[in-house]
Amino acid sequence: METIYQFFYSCQESNSSLDNLFGIISSLLGALISGLIAIYIFRKGIKTERLIKKEEYIAESNDLEQYFFLNIDSVFFFINKQIEEISLCIKKIKDWNNSDFSLSIFQELNTKNMWGINQERLYKIFISNRIGDLKDKASDFINAKNSLFNIEDFLSNQMELNKKISQKVLFNIELWNQSIKELLSLSNKFVYAYNLDSQKKDDSFLKFYTTLIVKKQREIIEENKNDNMQIYYNEIILPLINYIKDSPNSKDERIILITEPLINIQKAFTEIKTLRYQRRKEILNSGRRLLKVKFILSECILNTKNRAVNYN
């Protein structure tokens, strides 16, 4: 009887141990399953977060590219406008009725918006996010940046040249106008002295001088040609200079008096003529360089746009 009881007790104790073991195993399995589920959820969350960040990055990159290329289109538009203005300016400088040699600058032709773009992101637009030969992509990137620098140089150089040329033209125009006034004042002085002379004689110099300085100048003014320095010089100053050279009375005091203003007028005219030529040449060359910049930049942008995008 006691033996049966012991056996029963032993079996009961064994069953309790098994129950405990099963409980432990169940707990471990539950924890393991919970852990695996948590890892799965965590990894899925990371994957989802990465996917969201990638989608945000792609959207930002697309927006940045669109912003960049729209600004490039604006640059091309105003380069064309600037080229048109260069052509008009060259024609304007050839016109002797015009004394403004400055080139109108389109302030919209600037690259400040593009330099505001993070250079690392700009690098990605041209290289990292594009499929193709690295050397070709890098070449387009460098050439595009250099083109933008050259546009800025064009703007700053032309503004500086406008300032310098305006100062030189203004100086010579003032010298011209002041000397013309001196010739007219001397004409009045010569006529006044002649009228005071009680023994008036035929005065060929005075007649020729007043005909040019007074009558001919009045005709030019009435024809609205007085602002045309070339006409004034050819029809008044040049004949007067030639007359003095051929005059037998080279020691006439009046000729000595008009010599200095005539020299200043000739100097101002020659300088203005030279400035016209130099300025036309400068502007023409700047236009050619700007067209070359546009061609290089256009080629770089087209190459970049034609390359497939890869955000991986």
Q: What is the CA radius of gyration of the chain?
A: 45
Of 233, 223, 230, give the one whose Cα is nearest residue 183.
Answer: 233
d(CA 117, CA 119): 6
pLDDT of 269-281, one tens digit each?
Answer: 999 999 999 999 9
Q: What is the mean pLDDT of the chain?
A: 85
* CA 258/CA 158 separation, integer angstroms: 39
Q: Which residue has the higher pLDDT, 144 or 28?
A: 144
Q: What DSSP designation does 132 have? A: S
Give the residue with greater pLDDT, 291 vs 30.
291
pTM confidence score: 0.76
pLDDT band at 31 (very low <50, low <70, confident <90, very high): low
pLDDT bucket at 53, cuts 50 / 70 / 90: confident
Tokens at residue 64, please? 């940045």
Q: For position 63, what pLDDT does the model report?
A: 82
Mean pLDDT for the stretch of residues 57-80 = 86
Residues in CB range of 99: below 8 A, 6 or more apart: 169, 173, 227, 229, 272
Element (H, E) at 177: helix 134-196
Structural contact between residues 100 and 173, judged by C-beta atoms closer than 8 angstroms = no
**Helix, strand, coil percentages for the chain (3-state, nearest 5):** 85, 0, 15
pLDDT 10s digits, 112-128: 777 777 788 888 888 88
Q: What is the pLDDT of residues 233-258, one digit of tens each?
A: 999 999 999 988 877 666 788 998 99
